[in-house]
Amino acid sequence: MSIIQKALDKRRADSGGQPPPAPPTPDEPPRAEAADAATDAAGNEPAPDTPARRSREVTIDFGHLRRQGIMVPGERRSTLAEEFRLMKRPVLNNAFAPNDAARVPRGRLVMVTSALPREGKTFTTVNLALSMALEVERTVLLVDADVARPGIPGTLGIDADRGLMDVLTEPDITIPDVLLRTNVPNLSILPAGRPHGQSTELLASTAMMRLVNDLLDRYQDRMILFDSPPLLATSEPGVLATHMGQVLMVVEAEHTPRSSVERAMEQLSGCDVVLTTLNKATPLPGMGYGGYYYSRDREAAAHAH
């Protein structure tokens, strides 16, 4: 018997026949959470003793969508779904054009607005987000930036409390605390949060710029849609537009005065790319909607809702 074997037998005898305890091993590292939950709004890793924050899950009621005439993901092809397929394509092309010269700077940031209330901007924003979420290689973040009259929760049939305004005003609240993950693959929601008397100033703040840049930089495949208030109803959208790469102006066909559209456009003088879409238009034979694409640098015809 070898000297090593004798030493092992003696050690077992001294321990009552039990095998020697295994040497201590380092603790296993915790499993990584989703990226939105593991970092704060500035993209910083949490402190070692800080528990990981995870966004809440909500279920969008497809029956509620159907009753409002909104497209339902996964259902058979419909006229509405096809119209939004046409509308999203120039927006996506602007954001992800393979040619750098054709790609719009910050084009993944899109604000949807209107000149006046009740022209269908939230209807348009939600349908556009749902349609973009069907893209194979894209994710969508839907931001409710109509902080005075949030429309996203009611339209989707979900509950929301804290959101964008809370992140901007409460240092301890970060994006993962308020972000809502949905049962629609590739679609997340950032609610408006609780109303604030200085919402315009908050949207114009450095904190808002940092937050928007973080949302833009964190995922390169992400489209970020902002449902904003009407341009002629409040001052927030004019400020919000300064952060955007594209603006989609919803105009109610045969209802919104031309003068209102022109006044609203004046507030977008700093935006290079503005898409204008007619809502509630009488369908033309062979087409769902007619619209035009407007850019202050160039003009090109395109189909839009």
Contact 96, 219 (CB under 8 A): no
Model confidence at 108, pLDDT cuts 50, 70, 90, reads: very high
- In a domain, residue 65? The reply is yes
Taking only the tens place, the pLDDT of each residue in 114-161 is 999 999 999 999 999 999 999 999 999 999 999 989 999 999 999 998
Tell me the pTM: 0.77
- In a domain, residue 157? The reply is yes
- In a domain, residue 47? The reply is no
- In a domain, residue 274? The reply is yes
Q: Which amino acid is at 39?
A: T
- In a domain, residue 137? The reply is yes
Taking only the tens place, the pLDDT of each residue in 3-19 is 445 544 555 555 455 54
Which DSSP helix (H) or strand (E) runs through 95?
A: helix 79-96
Model confidence at 53, pLDDT cuts 50, 70, 90, reads: low
Coil, strand or helix: which one is 201?
helix
Alpha carbons 299 and 273: distance in angstroms, whole number: 10
Tell me the helix, strand and coil percentages in the chain, rounded to 5. Answer: 35, 15, 50
User: How many domains does one find in the chain?
Assistant: 1
Domain hosting 98: range is: 58-300
- In a domain, residue 93? The reply is yes
- In a domain, residue 90? The reply is yes
The pLDDT of residue 60 is above 90: yes
- In a domain, residue 19? The reply is no
Which token pair is 178?
A: 């308020």
Taking only the tens place, the pLDDT of each residue in 231-249 is 999 999 999 999 999 999 9
Q: Which residues contact 294 (CB under 8 A, 6 or more apart)?
A: 274, 275, 276
The CATH number covering residue 278 comes to 3.40.50.300
pLDDT of residue 192: 96
pLDDT of residue 195: 86
